[in-house]
Amino acid sequence: MLTAAAPKAFGFDDVGLMARDLAARPYVAPDRTLPDRLSALTYDTYRQLGFHDHKGLWADQRLPFQAQFFHRGGLFPEKVEIFEVADGTARPVAYDPAMFRYGTGPLSDLVTLDDARFGFAGLRLLHPLNRADKFDETAAFLGASYFRAVARGGVYGASARGLAIGAGEPAEEFPRFRAFWLVRPGRRDRSLTLYALMDSPSLTGAYRFVITPGAPTLTEVQAGLHPRTEVRRAGFAPLTSMFLFDPQTAGRFDDYRPRVHDSDGLAMANGAGERLWRPLSNPATLQASGFADQTPRGFGLAQRAAGFTAYQDLEARYDLRPSMWVEPLEDWGPGQVRLVELPTPDETEDNILAEWRSPTPLTPGRPHRLAYRLHWGVEPTPPRPVALARRWREAAGEAPGWRRVLIDFDESGSDLTPEARINLGKVPVRHVVVSPNTALGGWRLAFEFQPGQAHEIEQRAQLVDARGPCSEVWVRRWLA
């Protein structure tokens, strides 16, 4: 079924028909058959498998995009089908062992194991992102439904997924892209379109991605989902990232770097017009938070700490990693932005997930459509000037049993002196002060709270003036 393609004008509707027909059949797991030598590749050895630039799709056609492919092996044993759509017709891209570089080291003899039936694990897209005479890797699709992109002047960081099911919960399900269709671009095209077919035990899906590289890089996503069973835990527009520590928690790690993370906060623009900021954490146990909303305007995982000095890492270059922002292109109705934070001892695993979850389950026989735009790069500026929370710290208060919090907001755009609006529930709060930040500009909010016997406190702080709110809402879950 995957190899069947309409002879003319192949497009998103064709993938939608495939997804609908596939949902009517029992789930069949993807092909993972590989020789032991390929299956045994570690993360580091797998990264040594290269691709010959001149073997890329469209590499010899003077087009604005090229495509290269990932070899199967190690953590990526599943086979995906890849097609090129040209002149309205979809044709398979044939796997060829000669596409890959095996080197002269321990992987050199893998070429003898290669078989034309192995196929690909995923794909990467290239574009002259930073210089007109050089093709840079701009986006990649590899593993389950994961994909990521990079903005001009940046490097890869956090990732997105096509869909999440039960993220951070027992029996989490990972839908997978089973096939991709790359639409051959025109010579003047600034965007590339590709389609993808998703499959999982619970549902199938047809996806359309329109990728526009730049500063930021934009990915417009259109999806049509076809449930096999009732799905109550679907996470739409899921984003995944890594947060190990920041200056507030650096003491837990014996590390020369002041902070290590791909993202340092969850930003939200809710349907009521509020902008919220939730600093990320690396908790001792799994933490899940839900932010109820109606018709959200956007959410994302942001990398706000700016500049090399904030990270001091010449290899990982966390200072160049992108923020991600989800912009709904339709009314998503009621639901919640859900944040999952998992404990992690090091920076090798993603431990942060943000998604939109609707209370309405997906049911068989009722296709569900979704449309949104992903921004990769600098965090988008709010449409209305509002002071953003740039830094925060917590330490001992002036008296035993009290804790002191400092939050630095940037300029609000208002000519009035703001006051603080703080809500910690029934927890006592005192010494609330808003002062001009004469060193960095903006405002510093300071307050003390007394946790007492509380094990968990939801904290909320905002700057307001006579005209109303003039900053985003800083929200944090304090844990004893």
pLDDT tens string 36-61:
889 999 988 898 899 999 999 999 99
- Asked, for residue 32, whether it belongs to a domain, the answer is yes
Closest CA to 207 of 406, 83, 371, 399: 371
Does 370 reside within a domain? no
Mean pLDDT of the chain: 94
Tell me which of 192, 212, 232 is where a domain ends.
Answer: 232
**28 Cβ neighbours under 8 A, 6+ residues apart:** none
Residue 34 domain-assigned (yes or no): yes
Indicate whether 214 and 290 sit together in one domain. Answer: no
- 155 and 267, same domain (yes or no): no
Instruction: Answer whether residue 46 is part of any domain.
Output: yes
* pLDDT of 5 higher than 60: no
Q: What count of other Cβ atoms lies within 10 Å of the Cβ of residue 247?
A: 13
The reported pLDDT for the residue numbered 329 is: 98
CB 236 within 8 A of CB 299: no
Indicate whether 354 and 434 sit together in one domain.
Answer: no
Judgement on whether residues 329 and 440 belong to the same structural domain of the protein:
no
The CATH number that applies at residue 52 is 2.70.98.10
The confidence score (pLDDT) of residue 4 equals 53
Residues above pLDDT 90, as percent of the chain? 88
Chain segment 116-154, per-residue pLDDT in tens: 888 999 999 999 999 999 999 999 999 999 999 999 999
Same domain, 336 and 215: no
Domain match, 400 and 306 both: no
Residue 366 lies in a domain: no
**Residue 432: is its pLDDT beyond 90?**
yes
Q: Is residue 118 included in any domain, yes or no?
A: yes
Are 248 and 215 in a shared domain? no
Which of the listed residues 206, 232, 258 is the one where a domain comes to its end? 232
Please state the pTM of the whole predicted model.
0.94
What domain range includes position 37?
12-232
Q: Tell me, yes or no, whether 70 and 126 share the same domain.
A: yes
Instruction: Pick the last residue of a domain from 232, 248, 264.
Output: 232
Q: What is the pLDDT of residues 204-241, one digit of tens each?
A: 999 999 999 999 999 999 999 999 999 999 999 999 99
Which residues, including other chains, have CB under 8 Å from residue 165's CB and lie 6 or more apart?
172, 173, 174, 175, 200, 202, 203, 231, 233, 234, 235
pLDDT (0 to 100) of residue 412: 75
pLDDT above 50 (res 394): yes
Total structural domains within the chain: 3
- Listed in sequence order, the residues at least 6 apart from 97 whose beta carbon sits closer than 8 Å to its beta carbon are 111, 114, 115, 116, 118
Asked if residue 88 belongs to a domain, the reply is yes
Q: What's the pLDDT tens digit per position in 273-287?
A: 999 999 999 999 999
Q: Residues 444, 408: contact at Cβ < 8 Å?
A: yes
CATH number of the domain encompassing residue 447: 2.60.40.10
